């Protein structure tokens, strides 16, 4: 199961990088409209922060300190920087998951999530879904506003 999870994270993080890369106009990453309150750039920053926090810090024992609010308020980060940060978080996720013994998947995740105690496996699948969901939103944002 662990190998499958690693493969899926690699695939989805590659998809995230591809979506960001495909913006023709860098300024479009940060566009908002009346009905779209999160830009593609901010969703990308949110995913980077989320994975650094929940996988890097809590499963990979990094010293990451999350600034969740900044994930949504920071603007105009260059596309090149976003792509570099996606690659960095991909390596952090890969290392954390590679070093996680297979037997730990059924153990409890180190912190509660929304008041629930979850297994590491459940949390990793939840985070994978979250990554894929927001990557899809970035795809839609790009197709609507990258003009």
CATH number, domain containing residue 117: 1.20.120.450
Looking at residue 147, its pLDDT comes to 87
Number of domains in the chain: 1
pLDDT value at 82 more than 90: yes
pLDDT value at 19 more than 90: yes
Q: How many H helices and E strands in the chain? A: 5, 0
Give me the domain span that covers residue 81: 2-145
pLDDT value at 1 more than 90: no
Looking at residue 126, its pLDDT comes to 97
Q: Is the dihedral of CA 60, 51, 54, 98 positive or negative?
A: negative
Place of tokens 């996680």: 100
């Amino acid at each position: 199961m662990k190998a499958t999870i690693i493969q899926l994270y690699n695939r989805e993080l590659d998809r995230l990088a591809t979506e960001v890369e495909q913006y023709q106009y860098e300024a479009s990453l940060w566009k908002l409209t009346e009905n779209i309150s999160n830009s593609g750039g901010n969703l990308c920053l949110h995913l980077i922060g989320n994975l650094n926090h929940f996988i890097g810090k809590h499963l990979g024992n990094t010293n990451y300190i999350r600034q969740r609010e900044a994930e949504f308020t920071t603007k105009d980060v260059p596309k090149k920087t976003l792509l570099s940060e996606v690659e960095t978080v991909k390596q952090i996720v890969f290392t954390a998951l590679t070093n996680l013994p297979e037997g730990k998947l059924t153990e409890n995740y180190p912190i509660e999530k929304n008041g629930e105690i979850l297994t590491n496996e459940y949390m990793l699948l939840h985070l994978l879904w979250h990554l894929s969901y927001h990557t899809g939103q970035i795809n839609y944002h790009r197709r609507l506003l990258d003009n």
